[in-house]
Amino acid sequence: MAGELLDNRGRGDVAWSLPRIHPEGRKFGLIALGVSLVFLLLGWGIIGWPLLFLTAGVFAFFRDPERVVPHEDSLIVSPADGLVSLIAQVEPPEELKIDDGSGIQGLPDGPVTRISIFMSVFDVHINRAPIAGVIRRLVYLPGKFLNADLDKASEENERQYILIERADGTRIGFTQIAGLVARRIVPFVKPGDTVGAGQRVGLIRFGSRVDVYLPAGTDSRVLLGQRCIAGETVLGEIGTQKLIEGVSQ
């Protein structure tokens, strides 16, 4: 199915398959598997079996399923799997706004809609580009490891800022934020790279959060408490403002 063109009229062919394991996680899974087998061969099942169960969890954490990405220029897709935990009007972070000396503009001043997506250890942790464009900025900052559900995690936790610019000059920034358990943010891209919407751009190991800053004049199309799928869920449509209400049930 990879790379196949699908549409809402039934074109294409799909079938269920096991998701692949991202190479970043294979080494951890194989180490855990090797240690568990050693204990099992020594007859120490009380240690070996729990470690074997942990091995399955490690492989599951690094699963990298295929996603069907809607290709419409005005759409902004979710960069992360997880729960929409916060939606707020905020100023973009300085790291995405200030002149970094490269001559490339950052995000403009003024409040925009920030959508925060919380990823538990059970979610897929591969992050994807919300729009197609060029990576203009990638800024890593060390920090704390507070609960990623907290609003202040956006400014105090270890994090990485990514700024993408479309061909028409529209820029969208998002932040990968480490959480209580997360201890490393792994980028797959660098400044100057061209990415497609939904392309894999990085991962955060073991529980975390992603903040997305929509362009001015664009409202969220997801609701607080809604679950997102990276590369598939539409977070917003550029230039569209509309109140959407929902009921939890």
What DSSP letter does each residue of 50-107 carry, written as one string?
HHHHHHHHHHHHTEE--------TTEEE-SS-EEEEEEEEEPPPHHHHS--SSS---P
Mean pLDDT per block of 10 residues along the chain (249 residues) reads 83 87 86 91 89 89 92 94 95 86 83 94 92 94 61 68 94 86 78 95 83 95 96 96 91
Q: Residues with catalytic annotation?
A: 208
What CATH number was assigned to the domain covering residues 75-237? 2.70.70
Spatial CB neighbours of 166, under 8 Å, sequence gap ≥ 6: 73, 131, 132, 133, 172
Q: Which token pair is 156?
A: 């105090």
Domain ranges, ordered by start, for the chain: 1-66, 75-237
What pLDDT is stored for residue 27 in this prediction?
Answer: 85
Instruction: Answer for the pair 190, 99: CB distance below 8 angstroms, yes or no.
Output: no
DSSP H or E segment with residue 201: strand 200-204
Tokens of 214: 């929509």
26: Cβ–Cβ under 8 A, 6 or more apart, which residues?
62
Query: Pairing mode, if any, of strands 133-141 and 234-237?
Result: unpaired
204-240 burial: b if 16+ Cβ within 10 Å, else e:
bbbbbbbbbbbbeebbbbbeeebebbbbebbbbbbee
Whole-number pLDDT of residue 198: 95
> Which DSSP state fits 12?
S
Specify the pLDDT at position 200.
96
The full length of the chain comes to 249
Is 127 within 8 Å of 79 (Cβ atoms)?
yes
Tell me, what's the pLDDT at 98? 76
What predicted TM-score, i.e. pTM, was given to this entire model? 0.88
Give the span between the Cα atoms of 204 and 186, in whole angstroms: 6
In whole angstroms, give the CA distance from residue 224 to residue 129: 21
